[in-house]
Amino acid sequence: MALTNQRKNQHLLWRAAFGPMAENANELSDISKQDLYKLLIKTSSEKPVTLNVSNNAYDGLIKGLQDIGKIQQLTLEEKKQFRKQSAENIRDLNILWLDEMINSEAQLREKMSLFWHGHFACRILNIFFQQQLINTIRQNAFSNFGDLLREVSKSPAMLTFLNNEQNKKQHPNENFAREVMELFTMGRRNYSESDVKEGARAFTGWGFNLRGEFMERPFLHDNGTKTFLGKTGNFDGDDILDIILEQKATAKFITQKIYKFFVNEELDTEKVQFLSDRFYQSNYNIQELMNDIFASEWFYEEKNIATKIKSPVELLVGVRRLIPMQLDRPEVQMLFEKVLGQVLFFPPNVAGWVGGKSWIDSSSLMFRMRLPQLLTNSEQLLVTPKEDDDVMMGRQGADSGNNSRNLSVTVDWDSVYRVFAKTKREDLWEKVNEIVFQTKTSINPNILKRFIDNNSRESFIRSTIIELMSTPEYQLC
């Protein structure tokens, strides 16, 4: 496929957003990529609506974050109830966020939030903490990395997940300090074991109160002198974060990760160095970094297009943006996430999802290639994902019943047909191909012909889209 304006714009939409949407897929040949990017910035600049699914939860137990302290006073049975409720609400939060990714105009913000959600990976079964963390991420997704780092590091979710509640003057726990350096900021080989120890001492006392608000507890804090990354002083946690942000290694580490996620798994060392220097000079302004990428010419070069394997969430959301549909039981999407290996709010560990080729094995590829058919034909799901015992806590799985596997989907095909309303019949194949695929090459039309329903213009469009989506090529963006 030629490097048309349409394809460049779709490239931008797949990387800075979740792919083209049915209602405007057709306008992409006319608008310039600069204007399209400006539009993405504009729609993502407003403060996001807070995701909140916990309003109706815990009646009689806990009413909201203000009541979080009550957890301590609950009986064992009530605590169990709370965890069960939390698991259900986190599922709701998952579905609600997916809806945002599909429908929100603030596409760049949600895409960047998905990146940070994997970067600041936190696996914890407390709906209030998870909800607070994801909203923090969404609010700061493309403002300033220093602010984002600070807010995340002070969130009850992360402090709990990385055991900083157990990090006390007499008994330091290094987990939090180590992961902040290894995974959130500098990456390995840029600090020593002694820096981990000294950093951990500075974070002693970082915790949160009963309302889930960050607080420093002086009686647990180690007030002694610490030597951290060559500096010596009576540092506290904020000082440590400042020193970490002074390191160029931090700008480089984050830039590399962003480049891999948004541009190409194969690093271009020169480009990364250039971007990282500017990121550092801008004092970690995320939006400027993204401007440097998306407003460049090199981002749109052929070598960067269709080289990325869509993550399960990107795949699912991408299908749903081009083919608008209504799911009777949207929670079934979590089953897709489980089978394909990316459940929102349940990253494998604090290192997040590895991405790239690790998404693909025999069974996940076969399932990916069946997904469009499953959805649009309302088929029954014949797969069983593995149970998550941290969530189930000995209960029987909700996925085990057949009832939960019947897909009931209403597809709004009319919106899809409208995309091609002005396309002549003989150009239809070419046009559908251009909108669905990002790869340079496509499926051999002689093969495809055997599987396409040619009875009407509508059936042709419908079956071509489904068949094209059911291919290895469609896994790429």
Interacting residue ranges for other proteins, rule: CB under 8 A? 76, 123, 175, 178, 306-309, 338-339, 341, 346, 348-351, 354, 357-358, 360-366, 369-370, 382-390, 392-394, 396, 439-441, 443-444, 447, 450-451, 467, 470-473, 475-476
Nearer to other proteins, 48 or 385 (CB): 385
Q: Shortest Cβ distance from residue 317 to other proteins (Å)?
A: 20
Nearer to other proteins, 17 or 452 (CB): 452
> Which of 357, 377, 339, 335 is closest to 470 using CA atoms?
377
Q: Shortest Cβ distance from residue 340 to other proteins (Å)?
A: 9
Nearer to other proteins, 222 or 399 (CB): 399
- Distance, CA of 51 to CA of 97 (rounded, Å): 7
Take residue 429 and report the two structure tokens written for it: 């194949």
Residues with Cβ within 8 Å of 256's Cβ and at least 6 positions away in sequence, in order, are: 267, 272, 276
Nearer to other proteins, 461 or 466 (CB): 466
Q: For the chain, count helices (H), then strands (E).
A: 21, 6
Q: Shortest Cβ distance from residue 236 to other proteins (Å)?
A: 24
Take residue 339 and report the two structure tokens written for it: 């089978």
Residues with Cβ within 8 Å of 262's Cβ and at least 6 positions away in sequence, in order, are: 15, 16, 115, 290, 293
Q: Shortest Cβ distance from residue 104 to other proteins (Å)?
A: 29
Q: Shortest Cβ distance from residue 92 to other proteins (Å)?
A: 21
Residues with Cβ within 8 Å of 189's Cβ and at least 6 positions away in sequence, in order, are: none
Nearer to other proteins, 131 or 438 (CB): 438
Give yes or no for a contact between 308 and 378, defined as CB atoms under 8 angstroms apart: no
- Distance, CA of 140 to CA of 249 (rounded, Å): 21
Residue type, 361: D
> Which of 401, 385, 368 is closest to 474 using CA atoms?
368
Nearer to other proteins, 142 or 359 (CB): 359
Q: Shortest Cβ distance from residue 162 to other proteins (Å)?
A: 11
**How many angstroms separate the Cα of 103 from the Cα of each of 36, 68, 79, 98, 248?**
17, 32, 35, 9, 37
Q: Shortest Cβ distance from residue 250 to other proteins (Å)?
A: 19
Residues with Cβ within 8 Å of 350's Cβ and at least 6 positions away in sequence, in order, are: 121, 122, 123, 161, 162, 179, 183
Nearer to other proteins, 254 or 306 (CB): 306
Nearer to other proteins, 56 or 444 (CB): 444
**How many angstroms separate the Cα of 366 from the Cα of each of 133, 148, 170, 310, 354?**
34, 38, 53, 15, 20
Q: Shortest Cβ distance from residue 265 to other proteins (Å)?
A: 8
Q: Shortest Cβ distance from residue 471 to other proteins (Å)?
A: 6
- Distance, CA of 382 to CA of 402 (rounded, Å): 9
Nearer to other proteins, 386 or 425 (CB): 386
